[in-house]
Structures are given as C-alpha cells and as structure tokens.
Amino acid sequence: MTAVLPAPTDRDVYTEQHHALRTRVRAFLAEEVVPEYPGWRSAGSPSRRFWQRAGEIGILGIGIPEEYGGRSDTGFRDSAVVTEEIQRLGLAIGGLRVQTDICVPYLLHAASERQRKHWLPRLAAGETVAALGISEPGAGSDVKAMQTRAIRDGDHYVVNGAKTFISNGSIADLLILAAKTDPGRRRDGISLLLVDTHTPGFHTGRKLSKLGLEAQDLAELSFADMRVPADALLGEEGAGFRYLSTNLAAERLSIAVNSQAAASAAIGWTIERLAGTKPGQDVKFTIAGCAAQVAAGQALIDRAMTRLIAGTLSGGEAAAAKLYCTELQGRVVRSCLPLFPPGEAYRASSLIGQAHLDGRVSRIYGGSSEIMKVIISHDLGLSS
C-alpha cells in the first residue's frame, strides 16, 4: 500500500520540521479535539478553547513572522500538514483554514504596519478569530455585483449591506469586509475594510444549518449605518478586487489539499474496516481504482505546493488541482460508502457517512468546478 499511497515521510515536499509538526498536531487533535468534537457539532462551531489552544501550540502562527507573534520559517506546507491530520480523523474544522490560509495573507500582503501589529499577534494567539466577508444573498460568485456599500464620511466609512455564507461568521472578532466604496466603478470600486465585529451597527444573523460540516460555523451578517474608522481600510481604496484575486491560487490549493486528504482518509478507513475479512474481487478493484486516483491527486498536489513555494503557481494550475481533487473526493467517498455495512455507514457517528456529507460543498466554495474549467480553458488558450 505504501508504494501506491506514500506515507507523508516518503513525500519529498515535506522536511523533518514538517514531520515534527505533524506529530504535535496529531497528538493535539487526538487528545483535545476528538473528545470535544461531538459538542462542536451540536453547537455549530468549535469551542473558544480550541482557538486558544491552537494558538498556544503554534498552529495559528503559521505563516506569521515571529515579530508579530507567529512562527518563523513556516508557510503553506505547515498548513497542509495540519489539514491532512484533521482529515485523517474525519473532522470538519474548515474555519481554521479560513483564518490561516485565507485571512492572514491579506494582512501580511496589504495591511499597514499599525494594522499588522494590532491584529496579527491576536490572531496568532487565538485571542481573535477572523472571517472574510464577500458572498452576498444576491451576488454569490459574481463579486462585482456586490451591493454592500462603504461611503466615506469624514474620517469614517458608513457601511450598509449584508453578507451570507460567511465561515466563522458568528464567532469572528475580525471581519475582512469587501464593500463598494465607489459603486460606479464596478470591480475597481471594491475596497477591503478591517472591521471589529463589536462595532455598533454590525449584526450577526442566523447561523445557517448545513448539509454536512456541522461543526463549522456559517452565518449571515448585516451592517446598518456601521461607522468604520477610515484607517481600517486595508491597503488602497478601490484595490479590493485585486487583493481578493491575488491570493486565489493559494486559497484554491488549500481546498484541494483538504479534499485530497479527505479522499486518502476514506480509503484508509475502508481498508481498516475490511481488515480480517476476505473481500471479493469487485471490492478489491474498487479500492485499487480509488487508490490509483488518490496517488495521482497526491502527485498533483505536491507539484502545486512546490510551485506555490517557488512563487510560480499559476491560476490555471491551482484551478486544475482544485477541480481534480474536489471531484476526486466525491468519487472516492461515494465508492467507499457502500463497502461499509449500511447500519454503520448511515449512522451520525460514521466517519465515512459524515465524509459523504462534508465533502459535497468542496466542489462549490472557492469557485465551483464549472468555474475551474473556465479558468483552465483560458490557461490553455481556449478563451473566446
């Protein structure tokens, strides 16, 4: 099995530093997260204690320079290690990746020194939870169509509008908010604001009930004459769409890593479940076919990570990784599910059953599979 699905220690993309991190994360998840996880599913989000402990053991400091309270010499591969270990146990803690892989890079690349000093140490320590506010009720994938407005009024912006499907939305202390500061300029009129969620006029709406991802917070937000200080502007006014686009390749690769790890975990659980039995040829062939596909996905992921670290990962390559691995996740879990006894696979406590529900949305968020195909076709020179 190792020859087909290499162990992490056999993958060239990881170093001894990453293997040491994996050992610490695996122990943390097994000893502190797994016992609490059923309560998170009931509550609809991880406990605040989780964020504090994740900060204490260094998970939330990944990618953040030491001068801001983070861990030096860490980056995307460290986040990938954490993701792989989370999926190995069948946990849904996507809000963690939202903070480390999506929100933190905006602060690193576009924030002022004052903003970095204020927010990054709090994020690294787990004192602050971050969310990204883009999606709106009437403007899902079309960012340019957003209706939330942030109109300059002296030394403040007055914000009105609403967001939906916001991961970490109900627990966030910091919202990186996309809003139109110049509505007439479409995408060139979008800006990003760093919003303290305790600001008057900030309202948290419903926690959204989901098909799967029960322990991951998802909420509606609204803003009614919310006054945000002008110095909370992230980077340049009108540059929000450019900032949102800059990190898309890494965000999509993060989703791909999660899906790849989920597919690999599903095969592992299935083989463990069949241990001591004599599976028929059809079962063997099903697992063999899944294993070959997962091995191909792993090669694609490791190549993409190497190119991301080198600064050469293209949008088309990231889209290809997301397309392949998220679709792979669905195929593999769907193939493994019938290999478990029905009385086991369809129980709420079933890892494989929950994985079937949790995995469906990965083909939608971060850009649907259809959008990924559009990007790949453009990269191939097939644009009209």
- DSSP notation for 92-128: --HHHHIIIIIIHHHHHHH--HHHHHHHHHHHHHTS-
Enumerate helices (H) and strands (E) in the chain, giving the number of each.
14, 8
Tell me 238's DSSP state: T
Cα–Cα distance between 49 and 36 in angstroms, integer?
Answer: 10
- DSSP notation for 320-373: HHHHHHHHHHHHHHHHHGGGS-HHHHTSTT-HHHHHHHHHGGGGTTTS-HHHHH
Calculated CA dihedral for residues 100, 106, 107, 110, nearest 10 degrees? 160
Cα–Cα distance between 77 and 309 in angstroms, integer?
Answer: 9
- The two structure tokens encoding residue 286: 């099903």
Please check whether residue 228 is in contact with residue 175, taking contact to mean a CB–CB distance below 8 angstroms.
no
- The residue annotated as part of the active site, out of 136, 214, 251, 317, is 251
Residue 147 identity: Q
Give the long-range contacts of residues 62-69, CB within 8 A, separation 24 or more: 62/100, 63/100, 63/104, 63/105, 63/108, 64/104, 64/108, 64/120, 64/123, 64/124, 68/116, 68/117, 68/120, 68/121, 68/124, 69/120, 69/121, 69/124, 69/125
Q: Is 84 a catalytic residue?
A: no
Query: Which DSSP helix (H) or strand (E) runs through 193?
Result: strand 190-196
Residues known to be catalytic: 251
